[in-house]
Each structure stands twice: as C-alpha cells, then as structure tokens.
Structure 1
Amino acid sequence: MALGALISACADVRGGGGDLYATLPLAGRTLLEYQARLASAADAAPIVVLVERIPPTLLAAVDRLLADGIAVQLARTVAEAAAFFAPDDKVLLIADGLFADAASVDRIAGAAEPVVMTIPDNIGLDAFERIDGASRWAGLAVATGRQLAETTAMLGEWDLQSTLLRRLVQSGARQLAAEPGPGAPLLLMASRPSDLDDAERRIVAGARGSRGDWVERYVTPLFEEFAVERLMRTTVRPQWLVAAALLLTVLAAFFFAAGWRGAGLAALLVSVPLDGIGERLAALRMQPLSRGDRLHRYLPFFAGVALTAFGVDLASREGGWGSLVTTAAALAFFHAGGVEKRRAATRAPAWLASRKGGIVLALPFALAGLWTGGLVAVAAYAAASFLRAQQKGAAKGD
C-alpha cells in the first residue's frame, strides 16, 4: 500500500495576527515545513495540507517546500483532502500544531495497519487529546484512505481530526505507545512560539552532526554556529555555501599563481568553515548534504591545484627545485592518505591530514613569513598521516 500524509493546519494562534499553529516559527522556517519534511523523509506522497484559509506565511512556507522538491498539496475542504488518497492507501495523520521527532514518525509510518500513537495521561499534557482514562493521542496516526473517505462522508460540522481519531479507536486500531525512557521521543503540541523552544534547541543541536578532522572539531564549530544562527531564517541555500568554498579555493589558486600569497591563504582560510556551515544548514532543513556530491568532490582537487600554484610560485621566486619536490610529495601523500583512510573503512583519527587541516597548519608559518617552512610542515603532516593510515589498514587486514 502507498503511504500518503495528511497534515492539519486549521487552528489559529490566539492574538497571533492571523497566524496559524502551522506557521509558528521553528529553526528559521515554520512548523508546517518541519512536518512536511518529516512526512517526505518517511516517503509519504502525496503530502496534503488541510487548511481553511491561506495566510501569506503559509503560502511562503509551501513555496519554499516546492522549491526544495517537496510536493505539497493544499486542500480547502475535507472532501478535497480525502480525494487525494485511494481507498487502500495508508494515510499518515499529523495533528495540527504537533512537533514530533523523526524516529516517532518513521516508527508509525512503517505500520502495515491502522494505528494510533499514544502517550500516558499525565499532568501537563492537556494539549493532547484524551483517548481514555489512561492515555492521550500523541498526534500521530495511520488510517486508510477508505477510513478517511468514510469519515468525510458522515462528518457534517464535526472536526475531522477528532472524529477520525474516534473512529480509528472504535474500529480497534492498534494503539502504539510512544517509547518511554531516557531516549524518549520529543512530542509537543504548540499553540504559541514559546512552545517550540525546546524543539528548536533539539533541532539546532542535532544539526551539529558528527565532526570529522581536528579542525571541524576544535576550530570551526564556533564560526559555524554563529553563521547558522543568522542564516537559518534566510533564503540562503546550503549548496551555495559549498559552492562559495569551492570558488574561494579556485581563486586561491589564481592568487598563488600571481604571487599574492597572503590573498591566496586568506581565501583558503575563509573557505574552511563554509562547507560545514552548509552541512549544518541543510541538516536543519532536513535535507542533508552528501560529502560525496560533485561540489564536495571538487574541493580537494582544487585545493591540490592551489597547493601546486603555491609551490611553483615559491620555486620561481626563491629559487631551487626543492619547493617543487616538496609540493609533489605533499600532494602524493595527501592523495595516498585519503585512499588508505577509505580502505580502512573505519573512523579515522581526528588528527590525520585533511584539506582543512593543511590550510590551518600553514597559517602560523605564513604569519611568521616562513612560507617554505609552512610547505615543509604541510608535507610532513601529510606523510605522517599516510603512514598512520597505512598502519591502521595493515592492522585491519591482519
């Protein structure tokens, strides 16, 4: 059976100037966008938003989703919403104003039969609809297209969300308890912006992801967090930041070739945090960037071009072929070290050579005017990293 999603977006924020629960701000976007991206990540299609009126904030949210390739359909009536689903389709129901973590959505979306997710009827959970004396609806359910159509036919003036929930419970739909414990899911019913503060903190923290080399762990995080906080509410696309890092790397090669060493190194240093900022921004918007995509793959190549241009300039201005040999050795060890790290198929130690590590390592030598010393240090760093990676690969093979 195909999986679709029906998101309710009808409730108004009290004193909110015409805003809906669905348009409450969340990590630079809206709650509706987060809900729709969750549904899309669970492979739901179509994604239908039931809305009685369309304020500009909701229309802007839908436009952003469409621009990112998430096809959202708007339905002004319950009958319009039901018409999008075939009788045998599974329909993921997402309550108006619900924030749910991805694990909860994936868990219920995988159900093969109608199911209602529940939480205990505890103090402070009045925003969640009560099912019985012991449990409340967690805001997520799976119905069939037939159940949705049948409910629509008898609805009259009643509320679809509550009526369909009641019909599911009365028909014997399985009740799936939200998992308790230290890693319990975050389920919130939001009716005002402050209700989503905890959710936004969790999203921002989750966007940090795993850190790679020592630069990403200890040098760039502060820059990344500062930039992401200011960019997450803008229309800046994550891919633009990776492209900017690539452009700066290409410019650095031209600067080095022209003999402008300071400008070249400055361009490389500015490029260092940009792809990380893009990755965090993409994670916030639930569209993670792959480090295997074209832009990421070009970054090490053009960093090698910049290093070559620097070595040639150093040899031509200061004389001697030693700079060329050192540059060639550095390039060879960077490449060979990368191959060994991929062959090891395990998480590499953070200190091993990387594009970002080589750039940052060169900075103190440049500040001291020791450009040749910086080149030698980068080459030695790459060589030591290659030997370490090779040892790990050999140990794994044994």
Structure 2
Amino acid sequence: MTDSLCDRRPEPTLERLLADLVPPPRFAQARLENYVPDPAHPSQQEAKERVSAFAAALDRPRGGFLSRLRRRSEAARGIYLDGGFGVGKTHLLTSLFHAVEGEKVYGTFVEYTDLVGALGFQKAVDLLGASRLVCIDEFELDDPGDTLLMTRLIRELSDRGVSIVATSNTLPDALGEGRFAAQDFLREIQAMAERFEVLRIDGEDYRRRDGVAEISALPEQEVREHAAAQDGATLDGFDELLAHLMRVHPSRYGALIDEVAAAHLTGVHGLTHHHDALRFVVLVDRLYDREVPVLLSLAPVGGADADGRAAASEPGDGVLEDLFSAELLRSGYRKKYLRALSRLASLARDGLVLSR
C-alpha cells in the first residue's frame, strides 16, 4: 500500500530540531565559488563580494581579552539579503554558512520560532548565543506574535555579539506591510532593521532562465500508477492533504516528508483562502529544499465550486493554472506565492522527468 502524508503525525524531538539547523540538501554544495552572478544585474556580483568580505571578517583572529570585551559591549551587525525569488539569496546564505568556521546555525524563520517554543525564549537565546553566526532564511511574517518574538531574539543575540544574516523578499522596515497593523509593531521592526546592512539583489528567477515556467500535470491514473510503483512514494488527495496540514505545525513539515522519494497529489485545484495557501507554500518550500519531485493531477472538470476554486480544463492532465487566486496574488503575500509557483513548477518538471 502506498504511503500517505496524511497518515503521518511527526513529533520531532529537541535533538532533531537542533540537528536540522543546517542548510537543506538542495544547498549542501552551495559555495561562494559556484555562485554565478548574472552579468545583466551587477547587484548580484556586489552581494557576492560583500558576503565574501563578511565571511572573511568573521574568520579573522579575534585578538586578546580587551578586544573580546569590547566586542561583547557592542551589538553585532548583520546582513539582510533582500530581493525577488530565484535571484540566489539562499545560495549566498548557505555559502556563507559553509565559509565560516566555528559554531553556527542555519534555519528558516519558522524553524527558529518552533525552537523557541520548544526550549523557551531564554534557553533558546543561551543556545543560539553560543554561535558566531546565525543564518535565517525566508524572513517573512505571517503572524504579528512572531514579529515580536523574532525581533527580540535578533536584538538579544546581536547584543551578545552574534552575527546574523537573513534573507527575505521584503525590506526589514516593510515587514508585515499589507498583512497586519504593522504600525503597532513599527518600533520593534525598526529596532531590528538597524542591526542590518541591507543588500538589495536584483535579477530574474533563475528557474525561469532554465525554462521552468509551467506547472505540469499528469492524468490521475498515471499519477496513481507511478505512486504504486515508486519506492518511497506518497500519494494524497489535495483536499485531504490541505486538511491534514491544518493539524501539523508548519515547523514540522520537514519531518513530514522524511524519506519521501516523490510526492504524488491528485485533484489539485486553485486556492482562494490564505490559511490553505500559506500552509501549502511552506510544504512546497520543504519539498523544494529536499529536492522531492512532485507528480500531480488536476481536479476534474466541473467549473468552480462554492468557494470559487478553479477546476481543470481537462480531466487530470494539462497545466495547473491559477493555483493562487487573483485576490491572493494582490495581497501582502504576493512574493511568497510567486516563489511557491516557481518552485512547484521546478518540482513538477522533475516529477515529469521521473514519470517518463
């Protein structure tokens, strides 16, 4: 019987949470030397040079006692890599991680919030405060409570002399814009922003440069047959999976796909509500990090349902269009949704190759 993500109830231990604070498999070999800037966008070369200089500065000898004492009394500054999706921010962040010697941690925004939840704030600060470098990927806010938590965490780690480097699609003083009453948290957000040197990285999505644009779908029967024949495959109905994701904390989506060789989804349709869409975005991110191919089929013909979900133009196969409604794409989460579309298109292409 084919495995199903819906049957999984991941309960990662604290040891597992800590072990996961390293770059994901997709970026295990990312290095500054193999980051290739696009000549059409000089900011990519500039960011590479600045990150290289930052890594070299961190690895310089730390000097004597007075030098260390002075360093502790001064808040450490970090780098904030801002730009669109697919311009190489995560590649640069993981390259920095690999370039720096000594204690260091790497995780997504949601992984750090989960760690704080598991340890308690002060224990998390003490644990992370022993690092020279803390890397935070996907600094995007879905909840105002997380805003306060992470800005305070960054401030306290910085005060301890920990260097912090983060990536995001949103400038630090614009976090939360269009999502919640950001003015209520403006002081906290600005205090965090002052700790960073912002590097803006321009460019095109490299996945599109590689010809990945459409999210390819297969006939449902083909998806089911491939799932049954593939070792390590999972098979789930899209609606059932969305319902299951409501019961699993997003920080556990990585554990949810442990040892999955290929994910198979049937009945995929458009999304119109943020709560479903944002959870699915996190799942797509973890699948992408783990390089898990996705094979999917579309919901059957029949027009839109009561929630306005888009139906497939053909039964099962074709191209997935309008995964996120126009209203969702006009929201403050627009960049996050566009990134997910780009990543899912890449995973679906891998799935298409796997099925042939």
- TM-score tier, shorter chain, comes to under 0.3
Q: Which has the higher contact order (CA 8 A, sep 6+)?
A: 2
The structure where helix makes up a greater share of residues is 1
